[in-house]
Structure 1
Amino acid sequence: MTSMLQFVPILRLHIRRYDKLTSDQEYADFHSFSKYMKHVEDWYGKYEMRQVMEGSRNKVKRRVYLATDDPGIWNETLNYEEYEFIGQRKFTDRASDEKTRDTPAGLFQIANEINILSMCNFIVCTLSSEVGTLAYEYMQTLHLNAADKVLSLDAEYGPTGVPVDLHQAIYSHNVEGELSLQPGMLATGYQQWNGYFYGTNNGINWQLYPSYKVQATLPVFAVKNGEFNVDIF
């Protein structure tokens, strides 16, 4: 007997603003709602293409679960009529006010949002936010590898303030005032929380380079005089 149940995809958006943009101790940049939605559209476009290739003629309802501390974003969703936006607007109102956010009820709602965000097909967020990071870590408990189920508009997953993973360039980059890269070239640097690393590819010149043009890689270990050495450059 064929099951009548159908797989219904849903994406999650987590958009954190307010204290992340106003606090002197934070390093997040403003990202427009349209910038988030571009990646949502890309995901659904690829999903629908796979459905057609597999012979399905069912029209996919584009659903998005929205978690944000900015009430104004709910008005912006009206510009995307082909999408159904789901979420807890009362939570948004509470999260937008520090007096109501930092309460037991506010903490419970944040934990609930993190849990909901983790149970999805894909998350578009900023990993400079602890909420986005926790949702991604929860996803790892539900999948063998959830690395391809999240897209961050700023930071990569990992520590801040220290040199991050060694990177290998996958695209060339030649912008005046920024670090020059060629495919296969190695570089290492500091996370800048805005889509860039500040680093070097020769151990001398330090400049910015975009995170989307590199991928994390493992250092090459060499044995010299009975000791392990890391060969980076």
Structure 2
Amino acid sequence: MHDTIGIYENRLDFDGNQPVIGIQARRTDKIKEAKNSYHSIDEYEHIFKMYFQMLGKRQDTKTVFVASDDHTVLMHIRKSYKLPTWKILGFDTNTTMSNQKERNSDSGLISIVRDVHFLTKCNFVICGLSSNICRLILEIMATRFPN
């Protein structure tokens, strides 16, 4: 698994020297759950824009890492936020994760581990606490940023 993650690290231009906001937007199972567990893309966008405003002019390019089981989330954000002001990172290979069979496959496991790995490297993560993966990410991040 370590080698696999290394391959993805080489592919992704993830600069740890700049603030990176992570978004974990679950779609496939959240649509069917309680109304409060589904969050629109606009809600995520509002939060990451506020976070970068709070940081001020410390960086020229604002970096956002998007992890979602719905490829349209990444496509939407990439279409709305472009270089040179924004650098949107993410993997297009999550497009089939809405298929339950593929979600429970080896590639589904790699996809989750990969997303958790990169989200925990972010400085700030936006996710829903109804997600077990979100809570895992926050627990791992708490070991990096104790306060």
Q: Percentage identity across aligned positions?
A: 27
The structure number with the bigger radius of gyration is: 1
1:8 aligns with 2:49: no
Letter of the aligned partner of 1:7 in structure 2? N
Residue deviations 1:115-167 (CA, integer Å, cap 9, x gap): 2111111001111111111111111121212xxxxxxxxxxxxxxxxxxxxxx
Q: Which residue of 2 aligns with 1:41?
A: 49
Residue deviations 1:187-210 (CA, integer Å, cap 9, x gap): xxxxxxxxxxxxxxxxxxxxxxxx
Instruction: Extract unaligned runs of 5+ from structure 2.
Output: 1-15
1:85 aligns with 2:73: no
Letter of the aligned partner of 1:41 in structure 2? K
1:144-183 equivalences under 5 Å are 144-145=146-147
Letter of the aligned partner of 1:70 in structure 2? D
Q: Which residue of 2 aligns with 1:185?
A: none
Contact 1:115 1:138 in 2 (8 A): no
Q: CA deviation at 1:7?
A: 3.0
Distance in 2 of aligned mates of 1:60 and 1:10: 12
Q: Which residue of 2 aligns with 1:111?
A: 113
Q: Let me know the Cα RMSD of the aligned residues.
A: 1.8
Distance in 1 of aligned mates of 2:39 and 2:55: 25
Distance in 2 of aligned mates of 1:76 and 1:108: 24
Q: CA deviation at 1:84?
A: 1.4
Contact 2:37 2:128 in 1 (8 A): no
Q: Which residue of 2 aligns with 1:192?
A: none
Q: CA deviation at 1:29?
A: 3.4
Residue deviations 1:78-109 (CA, integer Å, cap 9, x gap): 1223321111110x213222121111221122
- Structure 1 counterpart SS, 2:37: coil
TM-score when normalising by structure 1: 0.51
Distance in 1 of aligned mates of 2:125 and 2:103: 23
Distance in 2 of aligned mates of 1:116 and 1:80: 20
Distance in 2 of aligned mates of 1:144 and 1:29: 27
Q: 1:144 to 1:29 in 2, by over 3 A?
A: closer
Distance in 1 of aligned mates of 2:56 and 2:140: 27
